[in-house]
Amino acid sequence: MKFNFFHLMPYPDFEGVPHEWPVSTHGVDSRKVHELYRSYVEEMVDAEDYGFDWLGCNEHHYSPYGLNPNPNLIASILANRTKKAKIAIVGNLLPLLNPIRVAEEYAVIDVMSGGRLIAGFLRGIPHEYIAYNIPPSESRSRLREATELIIKAWTEDEPFGWEGEHYQFPAVSIWPKPIQKPHPRILMSASNEESAEFVAKSRAIMGVTLIQDIASAKRAIEHFKTVARGYGWQPTPDDILVGQQICIADTDEEAREHMARAQAYFHQTLMRPQRSAQQLVLQQSRYYTGSEVGENFQKRLATLRGRTVEEQIEAGSIICGGPQSVVKQIKRLRNELGCGLLNLTVKVGNMPTQVVRRGMELFRDRVAPEVAGL
């Protein structure tokens, strides 16, 4: 198994409770944020020496949920300061961005890192579309066209023009090209059947966030495998990435206490404005509103905050405990889901730095030796 040290880069000291999105920055000292960036980047760089195979971050806008509007900036630092871990950008929100700029920046990161990029092509959660004033109903068609355009930009040596539904470029010829051939491995989300179809067709790594329970994740993975076989290939464990929050402490009781406090801040503070913005989109978007997809999306949001830590552990939707308990939980995921990649959010909400660092030590010394060979 391989493990991604994934960092949301949250703002952990928001005073009060934000009720609306976008969130005001009144009272936020950017010098304090400077220290957060320094600390977060050091955690990610050090994670390579603590047994993590990938180092990852992603993109969010307009709230304390995540301080990283452009993960490529952080990835460029990691590419320069690490030697062997994959640089997993999970990912750029393609429908919001200029796909040629993404192709160029990803190519630079792949070259800077010596060919270690995992290129996330994601659609993003609904409210991000308000931030960049992009119609959410165009999200899927934009993602498909941007993916096709980026792959061609990476693999075509001669200049070419592009006239698509959403993007038009009279001439494209990016410099440099990626080191990895024919191009860096692509990672996409496959949380529903329509997404799974596109991921399988693209022969990309399937990413699924385990929110509800192992059974629902297993159904999504099995559907992805079935569709992939229809496109002439058989996914292996290295093609399946499962995302979860994690807390490792010296004892089960300590880990559960840390996780409960961190999730309280995560749900009550970080997620509150997100839910407000998501409801706006769900009401306005013809894609998300009045559909099974919209209902499932809202159900997943409710599930996030509706269970105790103990219930989440039982459902398999988080990893939490002392080292031996964590080893058992990882083995359960490997056995029941057949996944070879775990995307682990180690900094949950406002979890203290010393708790994160202790968890990294325990992962290196007592967890990774037991599970790396699975």
The pLDDT, as a whole number, for residue 48 is 98
- Cα→Cα distances 323→48, 53, 258, 308, Å: 19, 19, 15, 20
Lowest mean pLDDT among 59-73, 245-259, 301-315: 301-315
The pLDDT, as a whole number, for residue 289 is 44
What distance in Å separates the CA atoms of residue 22 and residue 191, rounded to the nearest whole number? 26
- Given a cut of 80, whether residue 286 has pLDDT beyond it is no
pLDDT band at 299 (very low <50, low <70, confident <90, very high): low
Instruction: Output the average pLDDT for the chain.
Output: 93
Structure tokens at 84: 């062997």
Task: Evaluate the CA torsion angle 196, 68, 23, 257 in order and state its sign.
Answer: positive
What does the pLDDT average to over 227-250? 97
Other beta carbons within 10 angstroms of residue 219's beta carbon come to: 11
Where helices occur in the chain by DSSP H, the ranges are 30-47, 71-81, 99-112, 128-131, 139-155, 193-202, 214-230, 252-265, 271-284, 292-306, 309-315, 323-337, 353-362, 368-371
pLDDT, tens digit, 9 for 90 and up, residues 23-47: 999 999 999 999 999 999 999 999 9
CB neighbour list of residue 326: distance below 8 Å, 6 or more residues apart: 246, 248, 319, 320, 362, 363, 367
pLDDT band at 297 (very low <50, low <70, confident <90, very high): low
The residue that leads in pLDDT, 296 or 310, is: 310
Give strand pairing partners of 248.
321
What distance in Å separates the CA atoms of residue 279 and residue 281, rounded to the nearest whole number? 5
CB neighbour list of residue 107: distance below 8 Å, 6 or more residues apart: 154, 174, 176, 177, 178
What distance in Å separates the CA atoms of residue 71 and residue 58, rounded to the nearest whole number? 5
Structure tokens at 53: 């195979």
Query: What is the pTM assigned to this prediction?
Result: 0.94
pLDDT, tens digit, 9 for 90 and up, residues 307-323: 999 999 999 999 999 99
- Which residue bears the tokens 């023009």? 161
Other beta carbons within 10 angstroms of residue 205's beta carbon come to: 23
What residue ranges define each of the domains in the chain, with the CATH number in brackets? 2-371 (3.20.20.30)
The pLDDT, as a whole number, for residue 301 is 61
- Given a cut of 60, whether residue 145 has pLDDT beyond it is yes
- Type of residue numbered 366: R
Lowest mean pLDDT among 2-11, 84-93, 125-134: 125-134
The residue that leads in pLDDT, 300 or 253, is: 253
Q: Of 86, 87, 67, 84, which is closest to residue 75 (Cα–Cα)? A: 87
- Cα→Cα distances 354→43, 51, 319, Å: 11, 18, 18
The pLDDT, as a whole number, for residue 304 is 64
Q: Does residue 22 have a cis peptide bond before it, meaning omega lies within 30 degrees of 0?
A: yes
